[in-house]
Amino acid sequence: MCGIMGYIGTNGNATAVILDGLNKLEYRGYDSAGICTLQDDGLCIQKKKGRLADLTEAIGELPVSSIGIGHTRWATHGVPSDTNAHPHCDCSGRIAVVHNGIIENYAALRKDLILEGHDFVSETDTEVVVHLLERYYNGSLETAVRRMLADLQGSFALAIVCQDEPDKLVAVKKDSPLIIGLGEGENYVASDIPAILGRTNQVYIMEDNELAVVTADEVKITDLEGRPINKEVFTVTWDPVAAEKGGYEHFMLKEIHEQPEAVRRTLSGRIKDGWIDLSDLELEDLFQGINKIYIVACGTAFHAGMVGRLAIEKLARIPVETDIASEFRYRDIIWKPDQLMIVISQSGETADTLAALRYAKRNGVKVLAVTNVVGSSVAREADKVIYTHAGPEIAVASTKAYTTQLVIMYLLALYLAQERGTVPPDELKKLGRELAHMNQVLETVLEQEEKIKALAARHSSVQDTFFLGRGFDYAVAMEGALKLKEISYIHAEAYASGELKHGPLALICEGVPVLTVITQDYLVDKSMSNIKEVKARGAVVIAICKENLQEDCQECDEQVLIPNVDPLLAPVAAVVPLQIFAYYMAVLRGADVDKPRNLAKSVTVE
Q: Using CB under 6 A as the criterion, which residues of the chain lie in contact with ligand AGP when the complex forms? A: 298-301, 345-347, 350, 353, 396-398, 486, 602-603
What is the smallest separation between the CB atom of 299 and ligand AGP, expressed in angstroms? 2
Sign of CA pseudo-dihedral 393, 399, 402, 408:
negative
What is the smallest separation between the CB atom of 397 and ligand AGP, expressed in angstroms? 4
Alpha carbon distance 500, 545 (integer Å): 20
Phi-psi region of 542 (alpha: psi -120 to 50; beta: other; left: phi over 0): beta
Q: For ligand AGP, which is the closer residue by CB, 322 or 353?
A: 353
Q: Where are the beta strands (DSSP E) in 121-224?
A: 154-162, 169-174, 179-182, 187-190, 202-205, 210-214, 219-223
Q: For ligand AGP, which is the closer residue by CB, 160 or 396?
A: 396
Q: What is 534-547 written as a DSSP string?
A: HHTTTPEEEEEEEG
Cβ neighbours around 605 below 10 Å, total? 19
DSSP 79: -
Strands ordered across the beta sheet of 339-345: 320-324, 292-297, 339-345, 366-371, 384-387
What is the smallest separation between the CB atom of 563 and ligand AGP, expressed in angstroms? 25
DSSP 9: -
Q: For ligand AGP, which is the closer residue by CB, 23 or 353?
A: 353
What is the smallest separation between the CB atom of 255 and ligand AGP, expressed in angstroms? 11
Alpha carbon distance 390, 373 (integer Å): 9
What is the smallest separation between the CB atom of 76 and ligand AGP, expressed in angstroms? 15
Alpha carbon distance 51, 32 (integer Å): 6
Closest CA to 441 of 521, 524, 546: 546
Beta-carbon contacts of 420 under 8 Å, excluding residues fewer than 6 positions away, are 316, 317, 318
Closest CA to 32 of 19, 59, 50: 50
What is the smallest separation between the CB atom of 404 and ligand AGP, expressed in angstroms? 11
Q: What is 353-402 written as a DSSP string?
A: HHHHHHHHHHTT-EEEEEESSTT-HHHHHSSEEEE-------SSS-SHHH
What is the smallest separation between the CB atom of 275 and ligand AGP, expressed in angstroms? 29
Q: For ligand AGP, which is the closer residue by CB, 1 or 544?
A: 1
Tell me the residue number closest to ligand AGP, measured at CB.
299
Q: For ligand AGP, which is the closer residue by CB, 318 or 351?
A: 351
What is the smallest separation between the CB atom of 125 and ligand AGP, expressed in angstroms? 22
Alpha carbon distance 314, 319 (integer Å): 9
* Residues annotated as catalytic (active site), given as ranges: 2, 601
Sign of CA pseudo-dihedral 566, 570, 572, 573:
positive
